[in-house]
Amino acid sequence: MTKSKKTYHHGDLRNSLIVAAEQLLEQKGVAALSLREVAKVAGVSHTAPYRHFEDKNALLVGLAVVGYGRLADEMETCVNDQPDDPSKQLSSSLHAYIALARKHPQMTNLIFGGVLKNLCYEGDLAVESERAFNGLLRIILNGQEAGLYIEKETKELALLVWSIAHGFSMLITAGQMGELSDDEKATQMMVSNMGEMIINGIGHKNHNS
């Protein structure tokens, strides 16, 4: 019933290749992802991908753009869904970041694990990266304008928050968090606690300044 799959010319091969690649990625990991197998899953010869991607690396970048785009979408949703509650924007962005990484661990590794040839962080990938970070920036700025956060440079606060969300995500993805990795509930609890600690700090407040 779909309009593809009948013609000799595939029609939407570029996209089919990315879909197939993601399927294999989450199945077997970044290291075991081969261009030839992607082509086989997509139902074409192993040289067909070169019509749509210069390289294996170019396909991986294309796939990473999709993944990073999802992250950017999540960040924007956090801003738009609770436009009047900057505090909730921040906590939901933390939860969303980590939930997405937990849902697509291999995609997280692909984007941030250093497999992509570094030069390719220009172009579409850089666009999505900025879009995601701009979401975070806006969340912090909203909070600052509401008088919730200190007046330090917005970018510095955003980088701190990003580092926390990213670090926690990568540690879970890398299996460094022990039991926590598998425990959905405990993870969310931990994320909530971290959100609180970012706001209040871990220092004791018995100074009288």
* Least distance in angstroms from the C-beta of 5 to DNA: 11
User: Residue 57 is which amino acid?
Assistant: N
CB of 28 to DNA, least distance (A): 10
CB of 160 to a second copy, least distance (A): 5
CA distance 75 to 139: 9
According to CB under 7 A, which residues from 169 to 188 bind DNA?
none
The dihedral built from the CA positions of residue 152, 196, 91 and 72, taken in this order, carries a sign that is positive
H or E element, residue 141? helix 124-145
Hunting for tokens 């979408």 — which residue is that?
A: 73
Given a contact cutoff of 8 angstroms between Cβ atoms, the answer to whether 169 and 98 are in contact is yes
Pick out residues in 4-23 that bind DNA (CB under 7 A).
8-10, 13
Question: Rounded to the nearest whole angstrom, what is the least distance from the CB of residue 166 to a second copy in the complex?
Answer: 4
d(CA 90, CA 125): 24
Cβ burial of 90 (10 Å; 0-12, 13-18, 19+) is buried
Interface with a second copy, residue 208, by CB under 8 A: no
Which residue is associated with the tokens 């906590």?
A: 91
Footprint on residues 146-205 left by a second copy (CB under 8 A): 147-150, 152, 156-157, 159-160, 162-171, 173-177, 190, 193-194, 197-205
- Candidate list 26, 37, 76, 124; residue touching DNA; CB under 7 A: 37
Find the binder of DNA among 19, 30, 41, 44 (CB under 7 A): 44
Residues that bind a second copy (CB under 8 A): 29-31, 105-106, 108-109, 111-115, 117-118, 121, 129, 147-150, 152, 156-157, 159-160, 162-171, 173-177, 190, 193-194, 197-206
